Structures are given as structure tokens and as C-alpha cells.
Amino acid sequence: MPAVIDLILSQSVLQQHIIFWDRNGDGVITPIDTYIGFRELGFNIFFSLIAVVVINLNFSLPTRLAHSWIPDPLFRVYVDSIHKSKVSVVWPHGV
């Protein structure tokens, strides 16, 4: 358990905020992860599919550029470079 706490404390507030979507903890949010996350939050199938398209399409390229110039054909979002695509302010307490 202390290792998990150290991992969480070593991440930025934005990374802590999106860690819910990283289902297997590999640092990559796939479209399937996004879909499952929205379904677990109680959204219907249609809204979850729209959310996958909007979120993964818009955040995939900016986060991929920290790793490669080649766009990711699977539209994955990379957690470690999420700050490259930050479009809004996240308060220090994550609210």
C-alpha cells in the first residue's frame, strides 16, 4: 500500500485526476478504457461512444508528440504527457 501512495504523490494533480481512466495502470488510456470508464459512471452506450470519439481524438495527438512525431492510429492518450494537451486550469486540490 505505501508504494501506491508514493506513486500517487509523485504524480501531478492532473495526472491524479485522469488515473481513473487508466484501467490497467500502464500509463496509456485507450478508447476502450474511456468507454468502460463512462459506462461505470452510469452513462448510456451512445454517450459513452461519443465521449470516446471526442476525448481520444482530441487528446491523442498532443500527448503522443512527447513520444513520437507519428500520430497514434489507435488514438491512445498518454498519461505522462497529459500536460501537453492541458486546456483548462486544475486547482492544486484537484477540484
- pLDDT, mean of each 10-residue run, the chain (95 residues): 71 78 89 96 97 92 83 88 58 52
d(CA 4, CA 40): 22
The confidence score (pLDDT) of residue 95 equals: 46
Residues in the chain: 95
The confidence score (pLDDT) of residue 51 equals: 96
Q: Tell whether pTM > 0.75.
A: no
With residues binned 3-state (H G I as helix, E B as strand, rest as coil), the percentages for the chain, rounded to 5, are 55, 5, 40
The confidence score (pLDDT) of residue 40 equals: 95
The confidence score (pLDDT) of residue 15 equals: 74
Helix (H) or strand (E) holding 18: helix 13-18
d(CA 60, CA 65): 9
Q: Parallel, antiparallel, or unpaired for β 77-78 and 28-29? A: antiparallel
d(CA 84, CA 63): 6
The confidence score (pLDDT) of residue 48 equals: 97
